[in-house]
């Protein structure tokens, strides 16, 4: 039996097919530029990796192409679609409804749809992916795994904004937090590596990719996180500004005459590392420019590391202590220079980076000094594995309870 993991973006669809027993990945791929004339499908592992130009009008067409590939008599993995026991869908926003991964039935679909205004760019493609998957693989159990769910444990003092209370009551304006599946995975993994129960530890997880967020994971529960009502808040990111004085927004609109859409575009697409450096949103390009003396590139890197450091500090104080910090995602896993900028100078707080371990090869590892009171770890994230695990767990539970009403 297999589990299919689907991550539907606005114009892309990523998938992984995993063996339900061993959780090993047997196939994976990516359909890109859906709806555009140059859409393509990239699939296969290792030597079998291939890119095909294919007309892919939408998510339905993309899932159909994936299934055709998986069922191909010569190169496919599956003899029949019945071998897919369950499909796990990444859904960005679960609002206040969902605090854990959930079997999708009509009511759940309606509740995900209700969250569309909270995540207008992310939830609609997830819904389209779910509908297509239900239509094309009707025998499989469909499961939703929410990016927001892990942060459901935040207390009101952390998730409320100091706006008039009715903004929360009537409009659900509050902090939700994102990247939850990644924070949950790397926190668990860190406890496993350190051979300590997660429930006994205070961990700060830093997911630093193109988007970035930090979570304070107190005894296994997220108690605060840097992203907020939307993924724009918190850290300086690739193209997003992160936390700024909210009055800047009204100033830009009222004094400079920008439209709300202009400001939204500016803060989401033209700010962050890109906005400051004027070069790129990619740390590698900025690093190169900084080394050749570009002062804006140097400033962008300094600001980025400082922003992470400040949110690290907030998380430690939120929990009242710290056992470990985990670095993950593109920047967190690969940029030793950024890690050094973040951690060097924090020795007085018990955070001692081992500069040599920091730059050594290898992936999952401890990068703090042996005598560092706080352990620093590098853990590659694996959201797909987490989605697959949750999906299989729900599949097994539904088989024992006989509850398959949604299929």
Counting contacts by CB under 6 A, is residue 334 touching ligand ADP?
yes
Q: Give the CB-nearest residue to ligand ADP.
A: 330
Output 236 or 283, the one with its CB closest to ligand ADP. Answer: 283
User: What binding mask, one character per residue, do residues 31-70 give for ligand ADP by CB under 6 A, x or -?
Assistant: ----------------------------------------
Nearer to ligand ADP, 282 or 406 (CB): 282
Helices (H), 137-259: 156-159, 165-171, 180-193, 247-254
209 versus 350: smaller Cβ distance to ligand ADP: 209
Q: Are 277 and 296 in contact (CB under 8 A)?
A: yes
> Of all helices (H) and strands (E), which one includes residue 371?
none
The yes-or-no answer on residue 147 being catalytic is yes
- Number of residues that make up the chain: 407
**DSSP for 118-157?**
GSTTTHHHHHHHHHHHHHH-TTSEEEEEESSGGGGG--HH
* Minimal distance, residue 300 CB to ligand ADP, in Å: 11
**Interacting residue with ligand ADP among 35, 44, 124, 209 (CB under 6 A):** 209
Strands 84-91 and 2-8: parallel
Q: Which among 175, 244, 179 is positioned nearest to 208, based on CA atoms?
A: 179
Instruction: Choose the binding region for ligand ADP from 8-16, 190-198, 203-211, 248-256 (rule: CB under 6 A).
Output: 203-211
Verify binding: residue 291, ligand ADP, rule CB under 6 A.
no
330 contacts ligand ADP (rule: CB under 6 A): yes
Q: Is 186 in the site for ligand ADP (CB under 6 A)?
A: no
**Selected catalytic residue, list 27, 147, 224, 233:** 147
Report helix, strand and coil shares of the chain as percent, to nearest 5. 45, 20, 35
Do the Cβ atoms of 203 and 228 come closer than 8 Å? no
Nearer to ligand ADP, 329 or 377 (CB): 329
And the tokens for 302? 């300094």
Active site residues: 147
Residues in the site for ligand ADP, rule: CB under 6 A?
209-211, 238, 281-284, 329-331, 334-335
């Amino acid at each position: 039996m297999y589990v299919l993991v689907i991550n539907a973006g606005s114009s892309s669809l990523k998938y992984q097919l995993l063996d339900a027993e061993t959780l090993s990945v047997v196939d994976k791929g990516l359909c890109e530029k859906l709806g555009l004339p140059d859409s393509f499908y990239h699939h296969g592992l290792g030597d079998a990796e291939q890119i095909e130009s294919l007309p892919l009008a939408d998510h339905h067409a993309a899932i159909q192409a994936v299934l055709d590939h998986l069922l191909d008599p010569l190169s496919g993995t599956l003899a029949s679609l019945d071998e897919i026991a369950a499909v796990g869908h990444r859904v960005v926003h679960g609002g206040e409804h969902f605090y854990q991964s959930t079997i999708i039935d009509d009511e759940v679909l309606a509740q995900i749809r209700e969250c569309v205004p909270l995540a207008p760019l992310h939830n609609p493609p997830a819904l389209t992916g779910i509908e297509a998957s239900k239509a094309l693989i009707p025998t499989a159990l469909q499961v939703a795994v929410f990016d927001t769910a892990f942060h459901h444990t935040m207390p009101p003092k952390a998730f409320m904004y100091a706006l008039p209370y009715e903004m929360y009551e009537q409009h659900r304006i509050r902090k939700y937090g994102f990247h939850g599946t990644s924070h949950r995975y790397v926190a668990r993994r860190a406890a496993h590596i350190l051979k300590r129960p997660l429930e006994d530890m205070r961990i700060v997880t830093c997911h630093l990719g193109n988007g970035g967020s930090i979570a304070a994971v107190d005894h296994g529960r997220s108690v605060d996180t840097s992203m907020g009502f939307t993924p724009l808040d918190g850290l300086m990111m690739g193209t997003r500004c992160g936390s700024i004085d909210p009055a800047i927004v009204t100033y830009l609109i009222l004094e400079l005459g920008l439209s709300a859409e202009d400001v939204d575009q500016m803060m989401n697409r033209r700010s962050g590392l890109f906005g400051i450096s004027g070069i790129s949103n990619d740390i590698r390009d900025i690093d190169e420019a900084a080394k050749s003396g570009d002062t804006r590139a140097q400033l962008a890197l300094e600001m980025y590391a400082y922003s992470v450091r400040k949110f690290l500090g907030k998380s430690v104080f939120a929990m009242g202590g710290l056992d470990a910090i985990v670095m993950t995602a593109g920047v967190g896993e690969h940029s030793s220079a950024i890690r050094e900028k973040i951690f060097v100078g924090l020795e007085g707080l018990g955070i001692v980076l081992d500069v040599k371990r920091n730059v050594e090869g290898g992936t999952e590892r401890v990068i703090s000094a042996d005598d560092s009171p706080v352990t620093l770890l590098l853990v590659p994230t694996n959201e797909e594995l987490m989605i697959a695990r949750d999906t299989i767990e729900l599949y097994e539970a539904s088989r024992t309870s006989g509850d398959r009403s949604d299929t």
